[in-house]
Structure formats: C-alpha cells, structure tokens
C-alpha cells in the first residue's frame, strides 16, 4: 500500500537573461507561511548585517552569504538558493545593481563574469542595501527598506528598530513624571545604543522622529484628533496586528517598527476598528448611528482615552480617597 499526498508543490523553470535553464525550483505558491518566514528571514539577515557593519571581514561576508542562502531556502521550504545563485555569492551584483538572480541580466554568463571582476565594489553596494540604508553616501530612508541606522550630523548611528523599543520611546515622550528635557533624553537613551556618542542631540531627535514617522519628515498638518493610545489600546492592537501578520507580534523575537506599522495600518474590521471609528466621530463632532451608540455605552471605558497621571497626581488621588474613607 502507499499513501499519496498532494502538498500543492509546483515546479518552476528558472532561466537567465539569455534563456539558459539554470535549474528547477519546487515550491507551494499557496503556502500561507511564506510571508511569515520571509519576514523572519529578512530580520535575520538585517541583524547579521548590523553586526558585521563595524568590522567587515572576508569571514563575515562568507557567513552572510551562507545565512542568506539558508534563510532563502527556509522561506520556500526547498533548496532554491543553489538554483538562484549557482556558485555565486548571494552578495554579488550585476552592473546595473541587480542581484545575481535578478531577471535583468545578472544571471547570464557574461553578467557573472562582470560580477567577479568588480566583486569588492558590488559587495559593498549590496551590504549597504542589507544594512537598510546604512551606506554613508545615502542619508535618506527608503520606504522599500527597513533601516536599522540613521544619519546624525553626517555620521551613521544604529537605532533600535524593534517595535517594542519604539513604543518604549513613545511612552517616555509622554511620561507625565518627566520634564520635556528628560523625556527627550529618555527617548535618545532608548533608541540609540551609542547615545553617549551622539554629536548633536537635536539632530538625533529629528532623525529619531523621522524614523518613527516611517522615514517622512515631520510636516505641519491640519487638525488630527488623537485616536490611539499605544499603552491603553495594547490589548486591542496586538491581536489585530497578529491577524494581519499571521503570527504573534508579542512572541516574536524581532519585528521592525515599520513592519509593525504596516500591519497596524492593515487592520480591518474588528473591535479596535470600531473603537477608533467612534473616537474619530466624536472628535469631529459627528453623530453616531444607533448601533454605534449602543456599542459606545457598552464599551465606554475602552473608548475613552485616559490622560496619563503623574506619580504626584496619583498620590494626591489616593490621599483624597483615604480622607473620604474609600
């Protein structure tokens, strides 16, 4: 007897720009786990690039190459890197800056020869991309990359890019127990591992705020009501973000702030969306329909954004409660 299982795996021919067959890869295009594994792979590669940035050696370049290929295989659940890269390094680039497996021509025999002749220069360019914008020749932040460094007064500084670090920094910026100056200092200490070496605190803050704002400069905008409190709404936001990501953001080891925001912006219908919708309507003076009014009555404590209390305010409240006999 035999058991035949259809795992939905399909075969795809991979060719170079000249039409030469490089090999066959087998993947299941309906595998919903690919996106989650891709995020994990990208995070692993970015972390390795960050570690290697300060001291790039041939050994570290080789380790990065091995890691990239292993992570790529993990994403698709089969050995695709040997077909994509052949004997080339995953860090090799064609003359146009595309990867060696890019259909633009880097995979051809001629392209591979060109890669070998300028391997050092092209490896540097690829490493800059892997370091998410860390190349000193480019101070901007691309929405297509996940930066782990920012430019401060002409120098590159690592920034803690995990969403939990950014949420901690945002909490520090609204901490009622801190003066504004102390809030700014706390933000810098949280986000910059080398905060003591920052040459310009104001420039570092501007760079941090631009990073938090997904690479966009802070622009003067019209009235925007406060609709979200990251701490108060955490129990609503986390499961909604998990639904978009396909895994638990609280359990994962690392999730870039921009990816977290992408998932946050992708939240669809649900409890959190209802809460934000009612907050928005109330802030803009719009009428709630009958079902929204009922929901608002039943979830009043959840919908209202509570102002943060300082330790002094809390102590005073406790004192008054004691005087009133609780």
- Report helix, strand or coil for 257: helix
Whether the CB-CB separation of 208 and 152 falls below 8 Å is answered with no
Show the CA angle centred on residue 251, arms to residues 247 and 254, nearest 5°: 90
Report the relative pairing of strands 155-158 and 10-15 from DSSP bridges. Answer: unpaired
Going 15 to 20 to 93 to 91, the CA torsion angle's sign is positive
Q: Which of 154, 265, 250, 254 is nearest to 214 (CA)?
A: 265
| Cα(77)–Cα(255) distance, integer angstroms | 22
Q: Lowest-confidence range among 67-71, 196-200, 273-277?
A: 67-71
Residue 51 has pLDDT above 70, yes or no: no
pLDDT at res. 325: 64
pLDDT at res. 50: 66
The pLDDT of 44-70, averaged and rounded, is 72
Whether the CB-CB separation of 188 and 201 falls below 8 Å is answered with yes
Bridge partners (DSSP) of residue 158 are 149
Show the CA angle centred on residue 142, arms to residues 249 and 99, nearest 5°: 95
Reported for 172-175, long-range contacts at CB under 8 A and 24+ positions apart, including other chains, are 174/308, 175/308
Whether the CB-CB separation of 296 and 288 falls below 8 Å is answered with yes
Residue 100 has pLDDT above 60, yes or no: no
pLDDT at res. 148: 94
The pLDDT of 216-232, averaged and rounded, is 74
Buried b (16+ CB within 10 A) or exposed e, 202-222: ebbbebbebbbeebeeeeeee
| Residue 35 token pair | 């996106």
| Cα(131)–Cα(126) distance, integer angstroms | 9
Q: Which of 194, 183, 177 is nearest to 311 (CA)?
A: 177
pLDDT at res. 163: 95
What digits encode the pLDDT tens for the residues 111-129? 434 433 444 444 444 444 4
pLDDT at res. 86: 73
| Cα(207)–Cα(134) distance, integer angstroms | 13
Q: Lowest-confidence range among 86-90, 145-149, 169-173, 181-185?
A: 86-90
68, with CB counted inside 10 A (0-12, 13-18, 19+), is: buried
Global confidence as pTM: 0.53
| Cα(125)–Cα(194) distance, integer angstroms | 25
Place of tokens 């209802």: 274
């Amino acid at each position: 007897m035999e058991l035949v299982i259809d795992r939905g795996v399909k075969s795809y021919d991979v060719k170079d720009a000249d039409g030469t067959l490089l090999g066959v890869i087998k993947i299941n295009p309906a595998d919903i786990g690919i996106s989650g594994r891709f995020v994990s792979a990208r995070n692993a590669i970015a972390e390795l690039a960050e570690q290697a940035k300060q001291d790039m050696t041939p050994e570290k370049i080789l380790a990065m190459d091995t890691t990239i290929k292993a992570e790529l295989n993990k994403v698709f659940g089969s050995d695709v890197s040997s077909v994509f890269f052949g004997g080339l390094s995953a860090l090799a680039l064609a003359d146009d800056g595309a990867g060696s497996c890019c259909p633009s021509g880097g995979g051809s025999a001629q392209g591979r020869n060109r890669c070998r002749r300028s391997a050092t220069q092209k490896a540097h360019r690829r490493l800059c991309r892997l370091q998410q914008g860390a190349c000193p020749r480019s101070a901007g932040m691309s929405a297509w990359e996940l930066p782990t460094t920012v430019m401060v007064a002409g120098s590159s500084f690592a920034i803690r890019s995990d969403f939990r670090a950014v949420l901690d920094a945002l909490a520090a910026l609204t901490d009622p127990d801190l003066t504004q100056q102390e809030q700014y200092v706390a933000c810098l200490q949280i986000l910059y591992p080398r905060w003591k070496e920052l040459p310009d605190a104001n420039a570092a803050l501007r760079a941090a705020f631009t990073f938090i704002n997904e690479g966009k400069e802070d622009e003067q905008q019209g009235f925007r009501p406060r609709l979200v409190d990251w701490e108060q709404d955490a129990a609503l936001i986390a499961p909604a973000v998990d639904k978009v990501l396909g895994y638990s953001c609280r359990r994962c080891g690392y999730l870039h702030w921009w990816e977290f925001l992408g998932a946050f912006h992708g939240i669809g219908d649900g409890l959190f969306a209802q809460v934000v919708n009612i907050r928005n309507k109330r802030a803009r003076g719009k009428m709630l329909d009958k079902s929204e009014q009922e929901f608002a009555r039943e979830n009043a404590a959840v919908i209202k954004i509570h102002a943060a209390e300082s330790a002094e305010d809390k102590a005073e409240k406790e004192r008054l409660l004691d005087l009133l006999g609780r």
